[in-house]
Amino acid sequence: MSRKNQTLGEFIIENQSSFKYTSGELSRLINSIRLAAKVVNHEVNKAGLVDIIGTAGDTNIQGEDQQKLDVYANDKFIQTMTKRNIVCGIASEEEDDFISINSQDENHQNKYVVLIDPLDGSSNIDVNVSVGTIFSIYRRVTPVGTPVTIDDFLQKGNQQVAAGYIVYGTSTMLVYTTGDGVNGFTLNPAIGSFYLSHPDMQFPENGKIYSVNEGNYTHFPQGIKNYIKYCQMEEGDRPYTSRYIGSLVSDFHRNMIKGGIYLYPKSSVNSEGKLRLLYECNPMAFLAEQANGKASDGFTRILDIEPTELHQRVPFICGSKNMVDKAEEFMRNA
Ligand code: P6P
C-alpha cells in the first residue's frame, strides 16, 4: 500500500514484489531514470541563465562543450542507463537509429529496451515554459545473448512493462506506471529526493478543458472541427475552457488532475499528426489507461496500433474517457 511522502526509492522497493517480472532489474532501471531526471532538471532550471553561464557552443567550467538542452538530456539519459548496465537497447527522438547496448561485455544479457523523448517541448525553454521527458519500457522479444534488433522496438504499446514522464515545471515531478496504477513523485530540490505526492492518479471521467492548437483549425478533419465547435457551444456544462501549453507532458498532466482532453489530430499539413507513436503516444496512452483515461487516434486504441517504423507519427486524442468517447463519436459521424 503506497503511503504519501514515501520516497521514490522506498516506493520502488515496497512495490517491487507486485511487478510480475520481479527481478530487480526494472527497479534499477526506474532508479537510473530518477538519477538522470535530477541531473537534467538541474540544467533545465539554469536555462534562463544562458547569457551568464554560457550556452551551446561555449564551454562550461569543466571545459566541457555546452550543448543544446535536448541533446544534453539525450546524452544524460543514455549515459545513465548504459553505465548501470540495465538495458540492452535504447531508441530516442534525438537518435536516427536505435542503440544496441552491450556495456561491460555482458554479452547482451539484459532484458529491457527503453524508448525516450529526452526533452519534449524543448522550444518552450527559451520562454520559460515547462518541458518534459517521456519514457517507455519493454522487455526484448529477440533472444537474450544476441544484439537487439528493430523488432525489440517495434512492439505494440500494449506490450509496455512501464512508462512515465518527468515534467520540469513549477515543481519537478516524475509520474510513472508499471501496469498497477499511476503514481506521481515531486522532487524536493533541497535534498534531491522525489516524494510520493500524488498516489494513484486518475483522470476524472469528465472534464471541461480541451487542449488543441486551434491555429491549425482550417486544416483539421471535419470530425475534429465539429468536436471543437461542440466544446465551444453554450449548452449543458459547455462551453469548455481552452488550455494549450504547447508541451504535451504539461497539458497531459493538468488534464489528468483536473479532467480534460488533449488532441493532436492529423491535418492537411501533418498527414499523420505530429506526435511520435513509440516514445510519445504509447507511453502517454499507457499512463492514460492506467489512470482510468483513454487514448486513440480517433478510431483505434493507441496501444493496439502495430508500429511500422521507429519515428512514425500518429494522430493522438487522449484524456478523460467520456471526452475521448465524444471526440471519437464526432470522428465516426463526420
Ligand atoms: P504545435 C512539442 O514540440 C510537442 O511535441 C508537444 O509537446 C506539444 O503538445 C506539441 O508538439 C506542440 O505542437 O504544433 O502545437 O506547436
274 lines ligand 1 (CB under 6 A): yes
Assign 31 a pLDDT band (cuts: 50, 70, 90). very high
The mean predicted confidence, pLDDT, of the chain is 91
**Nearest CA, atom 3, ligand 1:** 121
CATH 3.40.190.80 positions along the chain are 209-333
CA distance 100 to 91: 9
Task: Tell me what pLDDT residue 102 has.
Answer: 83
> Grid cell 504539461 — which residue?
250
User: Other CB atoms closer than 10 Å to residue 34's CB: what's the count?
Assistant: 22
Task: Tell me what pLDDT residue 54 has.
Answer: 47
CATH 3.30.540.10 positions along the chain are 8-198
255 lines ligand 1 (CB under 6 A): no
CA distance 110 to 140: 9
Mean local confidence (pLDDT), 263-287: 97
Q: Which is the closest atom of ligand 1 to the Cα of 121?
A: 2
Task: Tell me the residue type at 207.
Answer: G
213 lines ligand 1 (CB under 6 A): yes
| No. of helices (H) and no. of strands (E), the chain | 8, 13
**Nearest CA, atom 9, ligand 1:** 248
Distance 208 CA to ligand 1 centre (A): 21
CA distance 324 to 319: 6
Distance 275 CA to ligand 1 centre (A): 8
Q: Which residues have CB under 8 Å from 51's CB, separation 6+?
A: none
From 64, 24, 26, 19, select the one nearest 43 (Cα to Cα).
64
CA distance 105 to 82: 12
From 283, 330, 74, select the one nearest 165 (Cα to Cα).
283
SS3 state at 107: coil
SS3 state at 253: helix
Distance 245 CA to ligand 1 centre (A): 9
Task: Tell me what pLDDT residue 264 has.
Answer: 98
CA distance 36 to 32: 6
117 lines ligand 1 (CB under 6 A): no
User: Given a cut of 80, is residue 278 above it in pLDDT?
Assistant: yes
* Residue 318 phi, psi (nearest 5): -150, 140
Task: Tell me the residue type at 317.
Answer: I
CATH class of 209-333: alpha beta
Matching CATH number, 8-198, of 3.30.540.10, 3.90.260.10, 3.30.830.10, 3.30.420.10: 3.30.540.10
The alpha carbon of residue 284 and the mean position of all alpha carbons in its chain are separated, in whole angstroms, by 5
Q: Given CA atoms 14, 19, 22, 28 in this order, what sign does their dihedral have?
A: negative
pTM comes to 0.94
Q: Which is the closest atom of ligand 1 to the Cα of 123?
A: 3
SS3 state at 169: coil
- What would the grid cell of residue 308 be? 511500422
Mean local confidence (pLDDT), 217-243: 97
User: Given a cut of 80, is residue 253 above it in pLDDT?
Assistant: yes
User: Other CB atoms closer than 10 Å to residue 75's CB: what's the count?
Assistant: 16
**Nearest CA, atom 4, ligand 1:** 121
Q: Which is the closest atom of ligand 1 to the Cα of 215?
A: 15
- pLDDT of 127-171, one tens digit each? 889 999 999 999 999 999 999 999 999 999 999 999 999 999 999
